[in-house]
């Protein structure tokens, strides 16, 4: 079973960074399928061994499947989406 054979129902990511009209974070020193978040989203306390990562309503896209996100094969529609995360 390969990565495209799973019953995946959502694929949230900031988009194909090479798509026209999309910001290209990769060329600007980022990593594929990542995007910058505000500095205030991360709090680190190394001496205590704690960290907190949080953001709300970050704009991204839902490609629904990995194949649709990577290959743009039309296997699913692409919708605007938002993500919120709170990790301690």
Q: Which residue, among 73, 80, 74, has the nearest Cα to 15 in the 3D structure? A: 80
CA–CA–CA angle 69, 75, 78 (5° rounding): 55
Q: Which residue, among 24, 22, 12, 23, has the nearest Cα to 78 in the 3D structure? A: 12
CA dihedral 88, 85, 41, 39 (to 10 degrees): 130
Q: How far apart are CA 71 and CA 55, in angstroms?
A: 29
Q: What is the pLDDT along the chain (88 residues), one digit of tens a residue?
A: 455 566 777 778 776 555 556 655 555 555 566 777 889 999 999 999 999 999 999 888 888 877 777 676 677 788 899 989 999 9
Quick one: residue 61, left, alpha or beta (phi over 0 = left, psi -120 to 50 = alpha)? beta
pLDDT of residue 11: 79
């Amino acid at each position: 079973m390969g990565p495209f054979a799973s019953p995946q129902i959502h694929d949230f990511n900031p988009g194909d960074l090479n798509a026209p009209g999309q910001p290209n974070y990769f060329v600007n020193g980022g990593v594929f399928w990542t995007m910058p978040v505000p500095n205030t989203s991360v709090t680190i306390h190394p001496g205590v061994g704690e960290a907190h990562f949080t953001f709300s309503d970050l704009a991204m896209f839902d490609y629904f499947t990995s194949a649709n996100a990577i290959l743009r094969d039309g296997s699913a529609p692409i919708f605007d989406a938002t993500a919120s995360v709170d990790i301690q």
